[in-house]
Amino acid sequence: MEHIISLRDVYKSFGSQQVLKGLNLDLPKDKVNVIIGKSGGGKSVLLKHIIGLLKPDKGQVLVAGEDIVPLSERELANIRRKFGMLFQEGALFDSLTVEENVAFPLREHTKKSWAEIKEIVEQKLAQVGLKGMGYKMPAELSGGMRKRVGLARALALDPEIVLFDEPTSGLDPVMSAAINHLIVRTKEEFGATCIVISHDIKATMETADHIFMLYEGKIIASGTPEEIQACEDPVVRQFILGRADGPIKVI
């Protein structure tokens, strides 16, 4: 199997807090890869390492075989063109309308005319259930709507690799299902590699090709949904069954 992204022995600390502790991860190409793990466990931090927003204290981050850790911002920019990213909080530009937000990457990185761009924007917004909302400002949207605009923006350029930080949290069940469907379609239609962080175990089992469990700064389990469900590890079992008692201590 071809791996588009690999992390090798990655360490990352913030002050005295160790978040990633020798993490190894291989993400297969053209698949939906879902990363699960407890809240505050470092999933968003992991995602930011993949796109070079954070640099590891130690270790390698390989994108299509190239270590991006020593690269300059300018060299990174070239690699980032392959990516789209949905931030956990949306990170919409609040001085631009919804339409301008989604159009932003298209205007910056393509030579398309405004009419063509507008058409793509309409289509992307319709895909996330926000048809006709293009004129609104981000501050006028609900949390779930902002997230979906972020999703439309991440997909605007039909990127090769898309990072989704909790795409369905805060959405109603029907909308969640639609977004999960959209992620699978993104993979199937555009051959994109999707890297998804999710807390929705049930949906993960349905949409994921591969699941990775992050715990205590390492990947402790990985495999297909069936393999994960059959996993004997007590930490994994507790997590996917959602039990309060077990090796993962909350209090």
Partner 1 sequence: MFKLFAWLGNICLSLLQEMGKLLLLFLEAIIWLFRPPFRFRLFVKQLEFVGVNSLFVVLLTGLFTGMVLALQTYYAFRLFSAESLVGATVALSMTRELGPVITALMVTGRAGSAIAAEIGTMRVTEQIDALTVMAISPVQYLVVPRILAGVIMLPLLTILSDFVGIVGGYLVGVKILGINSGLFINKIYEHVDVDDLYNGLIKAAFFGLILTLVGCYKGFYTRGGAEGVGKSTTQSVVLASVLILMFDYVLTALMF
42 binds, among partner 1, ligand ATP, Mg ion, none (CB under 5 to 8 A by kind): ligand ATP
- End-to-end Cα distance, the chain: 40
Placement of tokens 């715990």 in the chain: 215
Residue 105 neighbours by CB distance under 10 Å: 18
Distance CA 9, CA 151 (A): 30
Nearest to 25 by CA among 53, 46, 48: 46
Each residue of 154-167: b (16+ CB within 10 Å) or e? bbbbebbbbbbbbb
93 binds, among Mg ion, ligand ATP, partner 1, none (CB under 5 to 8 A by kind): partner 1
92 binds, among ligand ATP, partner 1, Mg ion, none (CB under 5 to 8 A by kind): partner 1
Nearest to 209 by CA among 231, 190, 189, 187: 187
Q: Which is nearer to ligand ATP, 88 or 238 (CB)?
A: 88
Q: Shortest distance, CB of residue 157 to partner 1, whole angstroms?
A: 9
> Residue 43, interface with ligand ATP (CB under 6 A)?
yes
Nearest to 99 by CA among 127, 129, 120, 83: 120
Question: Does residue 53 come out as left (phi exceeding 0), alpha (psi in the -120 to 50 range) or beta?
Answer: alpha
> Residue 52, interface with ligand ATP (CB under 6 A)?
no
> Residue 40, interface with ligand ATP (CB under 6 A)?
yes
> Residue 48, interface with partner 1 (CB under 8 A)?
yes
Q: Which is nearer to partner 1, 143 or 246 (CB)?
A: 143
> Residue 167, interface with ligand ATP (CB under 6 A)?
no
In what helix (H) or strand (E) does residue 79 lie, and over which residues does it extend? helix 73-80
Q: Which stretch binds ligand ATP (CB under 6 A): 42-50, 114-122, 204-212, 232-240?
A: 42-50
Q: Shortest distance, CB of residue 54 to Mg ion, whole angstroms?
A: 13
Q: Counting runs of H as helices and runs of E as strands, what totals does the chain give? A: 9, 10
Q: Shortest distance, CB of residue 114 to partner 1, whole angstroms?
A: 13
Q: Shortest distance, CB of residue 65 to Mg ion, whole angstroms?
A: 27
> Residue 44, interface with Mg ion (CB under 5 A)?
yes
Interface residues toward partner 1, by CB under 8 A: 48, 51, 53, 73, 77-78, 80-81, 83, 85, 87, 89, 91-94, 104-105, 108-109
